[in-house]
Amino acid sequence: MRINCPLCGTRDRREFYYYGAEDYLDRPAPEAPAQAWDDYLHNRDNPAGVTRDLWYHDLGCSSWLVVTRNTVTHEILAVEAVADRKGGAA
Amino acid sequence: MRLEGKGLVDRGAPVSFTFDGRSYMGFAGDTLASALLANDVRLVGRSFKYHRPRGILTAGSEEPNALVEVVEGNQQTPNVRATVQEVFDGLVARSQNRFPSLSFDVMGVNDLLSPFFSAGFYYKTFMWPRPFWEKLYEPLIRRAAGLGRLSGRHDEAQYEKAWAFCDVLVIGSGPAGLMAALTAAQAGADVILAEEDARMGGRLLSENCRVDGQPGADWAEAVLDELRGMPNVRLMARTTVTGAYDDGTFGALERVGLHRAPAPHLPRECFWRIVAGQAVLAAGALERAVGFPDNDRPGIMLASAVRSYLHRYGVVAGQRVAVLANNDGARATARDLMAAGVKVVGILDTRPDASAVEDCPVYLNAQVTGTAGRTGLRSVSFRHAGGAAVLEVDLLAVSGGWNPTVHLTCHMNGRPLWREDIAAFVPSPGAVPRLTAAGACNGAFSTAGCLREGRDAALVALAALGRAASDVALPVAEDAPYAITPFWETPGVEGRQWLDFANDVTTKDVKLSAQENFRSVEHMKRYTTQGMAPDQGKNSNVAALAVLADATGRGIPQTGTTTFRPPFVPTSIAAMGAGGRGAGFAPQRFLTSDQASRDRGAPMIEAGLWYRPSYFPKPGEATWLESCNREVLMVRESVGVADVSTLGKIDIQGRDAARFLDLVYTNTFSTLPVGRVRYGLMLREDGHVLDDGTTARLGEQHYLMTTTTAAAGLVMRHLDFVHQAFCADWDVRFVSVTEGWAQFAVAGPKARELLATLLGEVPALPFMGVADVALGSVKGRLFRISFSGEEGYEIAVPTRHGEALFRDLLARAETMGGGPYGMEALNVLRIEKGFITHAEIHGRTTAFDIGMEKMVSAKKDCIGKAAAARPGMVGPEREQLVGLKATGAMTAGAHLFVPGERVHRETDQGYVTSVCWSPVMGAHLALGFLKNGRARHGERVRVVDHLRKIDVVAEVCDPVFHDREGVKLRA
Amino acid sequence: MRYSGLQVIKEGLFGNKGWKPAWRDPAPKAEYDAIIIGGGGHGLSTAYYLAKNHGMTNIAVLEKGYLGSGNIGRNTTIVRANYFLPGNSEFYSHSLKLWEGLELDLNYNVMHSQRGLINLFHSDGQRDAFARRGNMMINQGDDAILLDREGVREMLPFLDFEQTRFPIYGGLYHPRGGTARHDAVAWGYARGADRRGVDLIQNCEVTGIDVEGGRVTGVQTTRGAIKAKKVGIVVAGRSSQVAAMAGMRLPIESHILQAFVTEGLKPVIDHVISFGMGHFYISQSDKGGLVFGGDLDFYASYASRGNLPMVEHVMEAGMTLMPMIGRAKVLRSWGGIMDMSPDGSPIIDRTPVDGLFIDCGWNYGGFKAVPASGWCMAHLMATGESHPVAARFKLNRFATGHVIDEEGTGSQHNLH
């Protein structure tokens, strides 16, 4: 498996650390109801198909990436840097 | 028998080898199999279950029978395929799975008991009495099972792993592969041509065929010469592509040193990771056997193998030969043998309507009803359109048709497609992205078809790569159609018909499986063990499937296939694990003080990837504890020096640095004055403690964070995530400077005095203060922090000065009655002071558990705050950090109970995490977690460690045993 | 038909013509008292114990492929009860007790082999963590012995004690741990359930779960609609998809775990051994193959296949720990789909839909749990109440913070 890091180019999977679903980006407000935090931390769509999840270019540029890929075929459809989203949730 | 003037072996290079202790001669270019056959050795192995005598069936890596042990000194390699192992001077091989000898094997009695060893018989018996399984039945089964034998000694040979990258990977160097490689290479693509065999050319080396008017082998050599001359082509012989993985990555096994005597530094094998833009699979096809009674005898060989031995090695494996086939192609075997002067006594064609015109007798509608010759074929009985007959033969060439080598196309879950016209599975197009199958592996069985498909597959690859096509002319070659009528087993005959030779699976087993309703192909495979032997089912899976289809009244496509999974050939653990042996398994990190510590005799212990000194023994100290006690008292009474550089150090800068720290720490750092240090607690987002450490404010927009040794990388990743995910627009940047600084703790009542001799003047630092210092021209930092409970400093200098500073500090300390202290003393000091480490913050503890819930600021959000407020994360039912004090020794890992209550999981009150003997307190101390522990100070608990026979009563107390008010720290 | 040595001989003498099908192939009925979705190890054992312990025989197991086609057919066959947190401790202890009587109960030789399991440790800290575990095992009534380095050397002299990157300090020995023949477990439960009247329906994929007024009423399948007032989802590996049919979003992420087997070799490893500083555990099957595995590939996947980085890591770990296996050749690798939960522990619970139950989240420890999982799921489906040994495996424990996290790695699904 090879991931096309927007900064470093295509690199082998072993340079990257996997975190989990993209859900981890949508941090609820501190006072959000417990259900929102449960969904944020635990519950997942977990699709058998296209998903978006978070990878860290650990042995590269330290970028966190959102990878759009297929969990059945392992095809990678898109890679973008997390930081390029509009941040500042906290 | 070797035929004069035939074959591609080097007659000028004879080699001597032994098999089962007997010496034989072969030639360079021989495999062990061809050399044994040249010496008329036909019996080479015993089967797995029935210990049937077995010979050589094939001429390739799919060989199920001829598995031998190759011996090198006191090391041996089991289950080596004689058809792959090349002979060399001094090669020592021996047969396997027999006792006392290959020709007389007492376990052959199993063959007589075969009616009771039907498929899955072991699921139905050996159940009673229960304890007999481990004591009697299983040991007997285990001893009988298995083929080869490992030596039991460390494999100390060399292995390698490597990467390769190319535009086009061509797998296989037969006509299709050569054309693909040539076409791609002439277009300028970077090409790797990988060939399993020692010699490139594929079937062209084994057939009497012509390409462009010249012998196939000559044409192959001409193409190879051209390829060798091209800088963009890499030819990799003896390299089997073992697996297809994601995004054009392939695994490949190169036999680097297996074809010659072992030499120091020469790897035996190299495991390649090949990353290819495009791939052409030109892996050819494997001939399949035919089912008939006792079809497994030595002397029964695949027809293609007979031709390989004849043309490639100049060897004929018998004097009187018959050919049994269900297709036209196998006729060539008879013709080639006759042309070489070998007696062919008949062609047994299973088809009623095939041509009867040959230069030898042809029997149509022929079915073999039996064979004779226990350790070597003597005769074949058969019936045919004209009656029944027996032929005295010592070699029966068999062809049941061909199975395209589709395996790699199944590695990514592709299912092959059944083609009725060739009675075989072919690759499903696109089954492996960016891979095109060509030639025989794609169901094209004529030489011309292979050449054409090879070229076309390369053109597909070039187009996908965006490269202009090259103009390679197609050579002329035979283009005969492939005429086959499937014939899987012989109907209406007694006796066992083997499918899986190596695992001894017969057609009866498959039928029994169906009879017992193991009708799914996966059930059949698992119930009978069909296809699970070292040949991985290459010789028999399709036939077994056909027999199952027949037994269950379904067609082959409806029956489906089992999945081929990597590796394509048996691949050694050592090759895939190359580099992992010994210290190679993980990087080693050494402190700048490493040598200085070793010089003082300190045992170095692993701390994550680091090595740290355990203690510094002095003359006269007999145990680690004596040294440790001395070091503890030394710190408490004078001064000690310890290297603490393993702690993670993260330099954080920017206008929003303070705000950022407030988000990642539970407590507040924006209020920390410049020049001061604060202890910080960090949570995971799920509310449990992630890490702790001190962070210094070096400037208005500049902090230096310290993490624990274990969590250094984890915290860095966490910070990157929080920053990039939640506040990428904040002005804050950070970088790990762990390896940039060497840092030493100087602790004890004389710490300041020691530093004064070093620095001249020690900055007047309050407890938890930080200042820049100069050591001559070297700029350093001085922190007044303490992990020991004594007045303590940590002095940091750029790493290159670390060793010098450490040696200097030790020398100064020793003049004052101090010296170095190691991990053991450091641990005692921190336990006495109630400081936690990852023994306590082990991933399941909350700020509440360790009594730090007040450090979670109510005034601001932080990572983990919301989840830490879940009802299960706080409360009296949770185990809370306590100190334990006892007169007897305690152990970490012991559990806590109320004295007098029964000891059981249900009455468990907690557990011990850290223990020490405190030479200062004169008591055994421990930290641990106790249910509702903070409310139970003063109570007594029973500390029970069944494993180490500890059962003592301890007093529950505050975890800070030493200097609770912190007077010494602030001195 | 009862299986015995005598029967094997009798049948052998008469050409093995008399063996009967191990189970029937019934057509689905229009309605059952209960339906179990999933014919893997857990589903089959649930059916078996529903029939045996609770007298519920008008039930069906619906399997989309063939019986035992999920992780029961692709694991490293390890059976153990070596947990240390309340919840897991009592559950796996119960499971091991069921294993110990399984052959005689099922009249099927699942080859449960209590050859002993040794978890190696490589530092004082690891030793202490294993001591905590071992003591809990004994507190629970199970067995554990702490071996020092010499003790390990005596049992496993072939390990590399001299050169390995992480020296062996000792091991936690669990004598009652071991292995079993994985497929046989599925087949034994299937045959046992079938003999008690349970309909095992293969090639029957559930495509919908019918819910009316908050109650389950049945399922839609590729072989028609089937009614039932009780439905159990027991489909680890596909839990999220099936639960979604009832509108549920589970705390599960699916991951690939690879495993490997070598060619058959004469006996060389007599125990189950696990390495403490890398992802590697190994045993030798009765057929002689070295069966070993490592950790997840770490990325969410349903592909049932993995990639080279973990393959190589596992082999490297094997080479640093026991270089004598270097010349054994791997024949097959495979990947199973793991239901990874946020704390590494499973879920056996009611769902928000009345009559709908779920058994999922086995991470990569599901094989050894097969007997107790079925036992407890059957209890739950029959009585509506959690079995005492599975009472902590609640679906809502993540929301409430009552997690059971043996690894201590927190709410990141792939770290358990």
Task: Evaluate if residue B316 carries a pLDDT over 50.
Answer: yes
Q: What is the dihedral of CA A44, A47, A48, A52, to 10 degrees?
A: -100
Question: Hey, what domains does chain B have and what are their CATH numbers?
Answer: 1-155 (3.10.20.440), 159-285+404-465 (3.50.50.60), 291-399 (3.50.50.60), 492-581 (1.10.10), 589-646+740-830 (3.30.1360.120), 875-971 (2.40.30.110)
Q: Where are the domains of chain A?
A: 2-84
Q: Please give the angle made by the CA atoms of B889, B892 and B895, to the nearest 5 degrees.
A: 90
Give the minimum alpha-carbon distance from C211 to chain A in angstroms, rounded to a whole number: 20
pLDDT confidence of B971, banded at 50, 70, 90? confident
Q: Whole-number mean pLDDT of chain A?
A: 94
CATH classification number, C5-75+183-250+343-415, choose in 3.40.50.1820, 3.30.460.20, 3.10.20.30, 3.50.50.60: 3.50.50.60
Determine what percent of chain A is predicted with pLDDT higher than 90. Answer: 93
Spell B320-346 as b/e; 16+ CB within 10 A means b.
bbbbbbbbbbbbbbbbbbeebebebbb
Closest CA to C231 of C34, C62, C374, C31: C34
Q: Which of B918-922, C149-153, C161-165, C249-253 has the lowest mean pLDDT?
A: C161-165
What's the count of helices (H) and strands (E) in chain C, helices before strands?
11, 19
Cα–Cα distance between B474 and B179 in angstroms, integer? 8
Task: Evaluate if residue B872 carries a pLDDT over 60.
Answer: yes
In sequence order, the 6+-apart residues with CB closer than 8 A to the CB of B237 are B173, B195, B197, B198, B199, B200
CB < 8 Å from C in window 939-968 of B = 944-948
Determine what percent of chain B is predicted with pLDDT higher than 90. Answer: 98
Task: Evaluate if residue B873 carries a pLDDT over 90.
Answer: yes
Question: Could you give the C-alpha distances from B542 to A14, B417, B546, in angstroms and in order?
Answer: 37, 12, 6
CB contact under 8 A, A18 and C238: no
Give the minimum alpha-carbon distance from C253 to chain A in angstroms, rounded to a whole number: 5
Task: Evaluate if residue A89 carries a pLDDT over 50.
Answer: no
Task: Evaluate if residue B924 carries a pLDDT over 50.
Answer: yes
Query: Is B688 in the C-facing interface, judged by CB distances under 8 Å?
Result: yes
**pLDDT tens track for B154-185:** 999 999 999 999 999 999 999 999 999 999 99
Of A2, A64, A76, the CB nearest to B725: A64
Cα–Cα distance between B954 and C40 in angstroms, integer? 49
Which chains, if any, share at least 3 CB pairs under 8 A with chain B?
A, C
**pLDDT tens track for C115-139:** 999 999 999 999 999 999 999 999 9
pLDDT confidence of C337, banded at 50, 70, 90? very high
Spell C110-133 as b/e; 16+ CB within 10 A means b.
bbbbbbbbbbbbbbbbbbbbbbbb
Supply the pLDDT for residue B249: 98
CATH number of A2-84: 3.30.2270.10
Mutate to test the interface with C, among B142, B689, B827 (most CBs of C within 10 A): B142
CB-CB neighbors (< 8 A) of B861 in chain A: 30, 90
Residue in chain A lying closest to B412 (CA): A73
φ, ψ of residue C252 to 5 degrees: the values are -130, 140
Q: Is B596 left (phi over 0), alpha (psi -120 to 50) or beta?
A: alpha
The secondary element (H helix, E strand) that includes residue B435 is: strand B435-437
Task: Evaluate if residue A88 carries a pLDDT over 50.
Answer: no
Query: Is B23 in the C-facing interface, judged by CB distances under 8 Å?
Result: no
Q: What amino acid occupies position A46?
A: N
Q: Where are the domains of chain C?
A: 5-75+183-250+343-415, 114-177+253-340
The answer, as to whether pTM is greater than 0.95, is yes
Cα–Cα distance between B123 and C189 in angstroms, integer? 12
Mutate to test the interface with C, among A23, A27, A42 (most CBs of C within 10 A): A42
Residue C173 near residue C153 (C-beta atoms within 8 A)? no
Task: Evaluate if residue A85 carries a pLDDT over 90.
Answer: no
**pLDDT tens track for B113-126:** 999 999 999 999 99
Supply the pLDDT for residue B242: 98
Cα–Cα distance between C137 and C172 in angstroms, integer? 11
Query: Is B150 in the C-facing interface, judged by CB distances under 8 Å?
Result: yes
Cross-strand pairs, B252: B241, B272
CB < 8 Å from B in window 250-279 of C = 262-268, 277-278
Query: Is C300 in the A-facing interface, judged by CB distances under 8 Å?
Result: yes
pLDDT confidence of B598, banded at 50, 70, 90? very high
**pLDDT tens track for B899-917:** 999 999 999 999 999 999 9
**pLDDT tens track for C47-70:** 999 999 999 999 999 999 999 999
Of B412, B716, B726, the CB nearest to A87: B726
Q: Whole-number mean pLDDT of chain C?
A: 97
**Class of C114-177+253-340 in CATH:** alpha beta
Q: Whole-number mean pLDDT of chain B?
A: 97
pLDDT confidence of A86, banded at 50, 70, 90? low
Supply the pLDDT for residue A87: 46
Cross-strand pairs, B436: B280
CB contact under 8 A, A12 and C398: no
CB-CB neighbors (< 8 A) of B579 in chain C: 316
The arithmetic mean of pLDDT across residues B73-95, rounded, is: 97
CB < 8 Å from A in window 835-854 of B = none
Supply the pLDDT for residue C163: 84
**pLDDT tens track for C87-102:** 999 999 999 999 999 9
The arithmetic mean of pLDDT across residues B931-959, rounded, is: 98
Cα–Cα distance between A37 and A39 in angstroms, integer? 5
Q: What is the dihedral of CA B275, B280, B282, B286, to 10 degrees?
A: 70
CB contact under 8 A, C412 and A73: no
Q: Is the ipTM of this complex over 0.95?
A: yes
Residue B448 near residue B313 (C-beta atoms within 8 A)? no
The neighbour count for residue B136, using CB atoms within 10 Å, is 12
pLDDT confidence of A90, banded at 50, 70, 90? very low
Give the minimum alpha-carbon distance from C134 to chain B in angstroms, rounded to a whole number: 7
CB < 8 Å from C in window 27-46 of A = 34-35, 38-39, 41-46
CB-CB neighbors (< 8 A) of A79 in chain C: none
CB-CB neighbors (< 8 A) of A84 in chain B: 728
Cα–Cα distance between B707 and B682 in angstroms, integer? 10
Helices C182-195 & C41-54 angle (0-180, nearest 10): 40
The neighbour count for residue A65, using CB atoms within 10 Å, is 26
